[in-house]
Amino acid sequence: MFGWVLFRSDTLTQALLFFKTMFGFSGAELANHPIGRYASHQVLVAIGLGAVFSAPVWRWGQEQLTKLTAAAPQKLQPPLRTIGALAEALVLIVLLLVSAAWLAGGTYNPFIYYRF
């Protein structure tokens, strides 16, 4: 999107105005903007989390846990690996359940026999 702005703009000032508007700094209320109908707090949080976790954050966390386990005494390494694996599984299960609950709570499912 940023590249298209540079090709679309006639001047650098116009490009900066486009960038300012893209990030919501144009002074217009977001609720009056067409995107304001869709940009709820949940959507903004989801976009933010998607941006963070599209980077190798999960792999970085695993590497840090591996380094921490390797620095521990030899007797504690097997239990720490087991705890790490269980914590990873628990985080993934919680993430799945929260995502499913968010999707199910965001849909409207009327009772299909309401008019009968």
Residues 34 and 6 in one domain: yes
- Degrees, nearest 5: CA angle 107-53-80: 110
State which amino acid sits at residue 21. Answer: T
Residue 48 predicted with pLDDT over 90 = no
Query: What pLDDT, on a 0 to 100 scale, did the predictor assign at position 109?
Result: 62
Residues 33 and 60 in one domain: no
Half-sphere exposure of 8 (CA within 13 A, CB side): 11
> 101 and 76 in one domain?
yes
Query: Residues 65-108: pLDDT tens digits?
Result: 889 888 889 998 888 889 989 998 998 899 899 888 877 776 66
Domain that holds residue 82: 56-108
Please report the pLDDT score of residue 97 as a whole number.
Answer: 93
Angle, helix 57-71 to helix 41-53, in steps of 10 degrees: 60
Residues 34 and 63 in one domain: no
What's the pTM value of the predicted model, to 2 decimals? 0.52
